[in-house]
A and B are shown apart, each in its own frame.
Chain A
Amino acid sequence: GAVVSQHPSRVICKSGTSVKIECRSLDFQATTMFWYRQFPKQSLMLMATSNEGSKATYEQGVEKDKFLINHASLTLSTLTVTSAHPEDSSFYICSAREGGAVGPTDTQYFGPGTRLTVL
C-alpha cells in the first residue's frame, strides 16, 4: 500500500514553455501533498505544501507564480512550471501524507520523481 505515482517520469521542453507534472496517491487519500526539487548531487529541497481544496504554502525563495500548484482532489496534485528556463532543469519529487488528521506519526510517501530538462 501507500503508493504515489508521478507523471511524466521524464520531460524535455523548450525554454519559455510550461510543463505540468502530476502526482497521484494510488491507494490512499492524501489531504496534504508536498513538492520537492533536487539538483544533481544535492539533497531534496522542499518547495511547497499543498492542501486539498486550498492554496499551497510556498517555502521562502520559491516563486508561487512560476511554480503553480493545484490540489483539486484527495488523490491528485499538479505542479506547473511556467515559462520554464534552463535553470529550472531539475528532479521534481512529490510526496503525500496519508490521512486527514494532522498527527505526529503521519508518514510521507514519495513518488518516483520527474526529471525536467529545459533546453
Chain B
Amino acid sequence: DAKTTQPPSMDCAEGRAANLPCNHSTISGNEYVYWYRQIHSQGPQYIIHGLKNNETNEMASLIITEDRKSSTLILPHATLRDTAVYYCIVRDTGNQFYFGTGTSLTVIP
C-alpha cells in the first residue's frame, strides 16, 4: 500500500516555482523518497529521489524535513510542459513502488 499522501491538485503560474508537498509520516529509516511524474497517457518519468539530505538535479529540487516525515518537490521555473500528475513514492523494503493518488499539477499561462 502507498505510504504517502499528497494534495489531489495544484495550480501554478508559468515561470513561477511549483512546490509540491508530500507526507510520509510512517517512513522507515532506510526508505528512500522518490518522485515521478506522468504526463497523460505516458509512462511515469523519474524526477529525483533522496534519503535524508536535500537533493537537486537539472529537473527539480527535493527538500526532506529533518524528521523525514514529509518532503517537497520544487520545480524552480514551471513551464506549460510541466503540467502532469506528480507522484511521491516511498520505496518499501521489497524495492517495490506503490503509487498513491498523486498531485495533478496544472501550469497556467
Which chain A residues have a beta carbon within 8 Å of chain B's beta carbons? Answer: 2, 4, 6, 32, 34, 36, 43-46, 49, 91, 93, 95, 97, 102, 104-113, 115
Contact = CB atoms under 8 A, between A and B. Distances in A.
B96 A34 contact: yes
A97 B49 CA distance: 14
Interface string B8-43: 000000000000000000000011101010100111
B49 A107 contact: yes
A102 B98 contact: no
A34 B48 CA distance: 19
A93 B95 contact: no
Interface of B: 2, 30-32, 34, 36, 38, 41-46, 49, 51, 87, 91, 94-102
A100 to B, nearest CB: 12
Contacts, number: 59
Interface centre among B31, B41, B49 (most CB of A within 10 A): B41
15 contacts: A34-B96, A36-B99, A43-B87, A43-B100, A43-B101, A44-B87, A44-B99, A49-B94, A104-B51, A107-B34, A109-B46, A110-B43, A112-B43, A113-B41, A113-B42
B60 to A, nearest CB: 14
Nearest to A93: B43
Please classify the interface of chain B as helix (H, G, I), strand (E, B), loop, or mixed, using the class held by over half of its residues.
loop
Contact of B41 (A2, A4, A44, A91): A91
A32 B97 CA distance: 13
B73 to A, nearest CB: 16
A110 B100 contact: no
Given A110-B45, A113-B43, A115-B41, A104 B32 contact: yes
A26 to B, nearest CB: 13
A34 B97 contact: yes
A43 B99 contact: yes
